[in-house]
Amino acid sequence: MALSIIMTMFSSSMAMADPYGNCIAAKLNPSLGVIAQMTGDKLDLSHTRQVSQLFLGENEALKSARPELLRLGYAITEQSGGRLLAVQSFSVSKAWVGKVIPQMCKIATDASIEYDGWDIDVAADHITSDKK
């Protein structure tokens, strides 16, 4: 029993000591869920859509994330009030998630900020033309 408690405490302290791994663990499955939902809704994943990446933290720390996001081709559309929002257009897929989540988690870890996640604009996918 004592060994079990020690292992649990060790695992907990290791998890707290690995913000990069924790970030990936927290964001990967929900991100894959978004891809699965889009596939289930029969959305064309090859279609390019605007993706927004949100980071939270102290304004000074958020500034340190900017150069890498810009290098990756993102436009910074908001940086104030403890938020940094970066946008870029992508066609998303499971492979995209596998590439981008580690990138965003590394940026967040290196800057000591929180990667809150991403969202994607699918509104245009649901617009139909009424022209006759």
Query: 70: domain CATH number?
Result: 3.30.70.970
Within a domain: residue 88?
yes
Whether 102 has a pLDDT exceeding 90, the answer reads yes
Instruction: Give the pLDDT band (50/70/90) at residue 124.
Output: confident
User: What is the pTM assigned to this prediction?
Assistant: 0.83
Within a domain: residue 45?
yes
Residue 48 DSSP code: -
Q: Please state the domain count of the chain.
A: 1
Within a domain: residue 4?
no
Nearest-angstrom CA–CA distance, 33 and 27: 10
Helix, strand, coil abundance in the chain, percent, nearest 5: 55, 20, 25
pLDDT of residue 55: 98
Q: What is the pLDDT of residues 3-62, one digit of tens each?
A: 444 434 444 444 457 999 999 999 999 999 999 999 999 999 999 999 999 999 999 999
Within a domain: residue 2?
no
Instruction: Give the pLDDT band (50/70/90) at residue 86.
Output: very high
Mean pLDDT of 67-87: 97
What residues form DSSP beta bridges with 53?
86, 118
Q: Give the domain extent around 23.
A: 19-122
pLDDT of residue 9: 41
Phi-psi region of 81 (alpha: psi -120 to 50; beta: other; left: phi over 0): left
Strands lying side by side in the sheet with 75-80 = 75-80, 83-90, 49-56, 114-120
Task: Give the residue among 34, 43, 54, 33 at the shortest CA–CA distance from 123.
Answer: 43
